[in-house]
């Protein structure tokens, strides 16, 4: 649950950064090569960058399961009185993507949802 909460949030940050770069006029292919290679980026983003590049999200970990884990983390945090501001925001984004038909896609499909 803790690790998946970190992965989910990292994927949202990666997707948003990629989208910002695109809006700034940088080539998507350049960003997908450059950003995952930075030492401050989680290594899993290299595999997810390939999915985004192809526009296909074969399931390694379903988006709906990621949303479930974020929900469980939020519920647990609430019960012990620990706020999870960013994780709760990510939970809502993944829930919206799930409702938009991306439930069974890989959780990297959050990029596709945010790109709309």
Q: Please write the tens of the pLDDT for every residue from 1-27.
A: 999 999 999 999 999 999 999 999 999
Q: Which domain holds residue 33?
A: 2-114
Task: Kindly report whether the global pTM for this prediction surpasses the value 0.85.
Answer: yes
Tokens read off for 105? 């896609």
Per DSSP, what are the bridge partners of residue 62? 106
Specify the 3-state DSSP secondary structure of 106. Answer: strand
Q: The domain spanning residue 93 has which CATH number?
A: 1.10.1040.10
Residue that has been written with the tokens 């959780």 in this structure: 107
Position 84 scores a pLDDT of 97
User: Which percentage of the chain shows pLDDT scores above 70?
Assistant: 100
Q: Are 79 and 114 in contact (CB under 8 A)?
A: no
Number of C-beta neighbours around residue 83 at 10 A: 10
Tokens read off for 72? 């469980």
- What proportions of the chain, in percent to the nearest 5, are helix, strand and coil? 75, 0, 25
Output the average pLDDT for the chain.
98
Query: Total domain count for the chain?
Result: 1
């Amino acid at each position: 649950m803790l690790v998946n909460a970190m992965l989910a949030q990292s994927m949202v940050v990666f997707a948003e950064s990629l989208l910002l770069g695109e809006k700034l006029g940088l080539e998507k292919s350049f960003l997908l090569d450059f950003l995952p290679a930075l030492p401050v980026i989680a290594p899993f983003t290299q595999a997810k960058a390939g999915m985004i590049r192809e526009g296909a999200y074969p399931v390694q970990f379903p988006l709906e399961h990621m949303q479930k884990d974020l929900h469980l983390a939020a519920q647990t945090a609430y019960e012990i009185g620990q706020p999870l501001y960013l994780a709760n925001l990510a939970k809502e984004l993944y829930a919206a993507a799930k409702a938009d038909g991306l439930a069974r896609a890989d959780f990297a499909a959050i990029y596709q949802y945010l790109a709309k």
